[in-house]
Structure 1
């Protein structure tokens, strides 16, 4: 016996209603997947581009410009920077820079064991944060930093990582890069920096707004002296070879 026409129509409408949420979820999943692939392609493209082209701006530089109304910045190649300046920032921030591929496992373990909030980030991670991401502490930023760092290590030379770091790091309030810092603090070009001057610039990191290389506190003088010793040590034991 044939089913009533009304019941058949009701069942058809019910199936249609069930299919609509499924189609919406499939559409959202498809577009989210495309957006993720596009973001990954953009990041990879920027990493490759900045391996040979100097980053024109960073989120931090832009933020400081908006806050202060101006920033100081002059890009210089690594050849135009005193070698002791490169050794000083490596000694201060990542003494094992030449020995790892983006992450210093021993430093991470030490930081966790001592409950430190800082001290485990390598120079490579700091370059990723400064060039591609933003300042501040968040799990999202840290996850992105962890994902991008191996790409940078894979496609950039160690010299390139040091060069970019020395040109994008904030070294005084609104002052980015060693060229502007050398001029602002000591009135010299970066290739003329002495070991002491280089160590004092490295010593203001990572709090350049609260420290001064030209008017150092006793604590900063002590840190700068330790950095001078560290720079000499990594030059002597070969831990500076990968960027010199």
Structure 2
């Protein structure tokens, strides 16, 4: 029994070392090269449309809109926004619509290295990858990757593919209205309308459009363009 226990521990240690080595290798590689495909894309039942573009070819309006909509403290936190997490926990305890406290960094880690879902195991892996992309990639690369792998519509991934689908032109020139419509659809891209939204979604888009100027004026996107 003792030998079996030692053997099991050795196997577990080898698995852990293998995971650490491979995960860090991927993190380092993706600092420089485009992410070719993700688990979400592989598991998508629809045909996939994607197009990688550098941050220089993505309109700053979209960067500001995403920060305003998803993670206003993006340039301040180190991957985890404890204030947002605590606020989400308090509001979720009251019932009603479930809110998340994930940052852009966490969403990027999930989208690139993991799968969709909310298990504790996946959350633990997400935290691991979030720490390392913050340490290795930095804010500019994180948001560049996020805007290239995020699902922007049914079978559509990345800002460029989304802009072409909805507006018929490049993501390099998005108006504040267009950028805000794309940003508010990101949490539920298969259900939220980008073109001609109505009701709460339209009002939310209007709020985000107004917030774009605030993000730029107050430098909330400063870490992206330093």
Task: Name which of 159, 162, 185 aligns with 2:143.
Answer: 162
**Equivalence for 2:123:** 142
Runs ≥4 residues deviating over 3 A: none
The equivalent of 2:160 in structure 1 is 179
Normalising by structure 2, we get a TM-score of 0.95
Report the structure, 1 or 2, having the larger helix content: 1
- Which whole-Å CA distance do the structure 1 matches of 2:171 and 2:103 have between them? 23
Question: In the alignment, is residue 105 of structure 1 matched against residue 82 of structure 2?
Answer: yes
In structure 2, the partner of 1:30 is 10
CA deviation string 1:124-165 (max 9, x = no partner): 000000000000111110011112211110001211111100
Q: Aligned partners of 1:127 and 1:169: how far apart in 2? A: 8
In 2: Cα distance, 1:222 partner to 1:215 partner: 12
CA deviation vs aligned residue, 1:179-198 (integer Å, no higher than 9, x gap): 01001001011112111000
Name the counterpart of 1:78.
55
Q: CA RMSD in A?
A: 1.0
CA distance in 2, matches of 1:212, 1:113: 29
Matched, 1:208 2:180: no
Give 3-state SS (helix, strand or coil) of 1:97's partner: coil
Matching of residue 42 in structure 1 with residue 19 in structure 2: no
CA contact 2:88–2:100 (8 Å) conserved in 1: yes
- How many residues align structurally? 221
Cα distance in 2 for partners of 1:184, 1:31 equals 48
Q: 1:133 aligns with which of 88, 102, 114?
A: 114
Q: Per the alignment, in what secondary structure is the counterpart of residue 191 of structure 1?
A: coil
Cα deviation 1:46-104 (Å, max 9, x = unaligned): 1111111111110001111xx12x11100000100111111111111001000010001
Alignment of 1:60 onto 2:37: no
TM-score (norm 1): 0.88
Output aligned runs, 1:13-28, within 5 Å: 21-28=1-8
Contact kept? 2:55, 2:144, Cα under 8 Å: yes
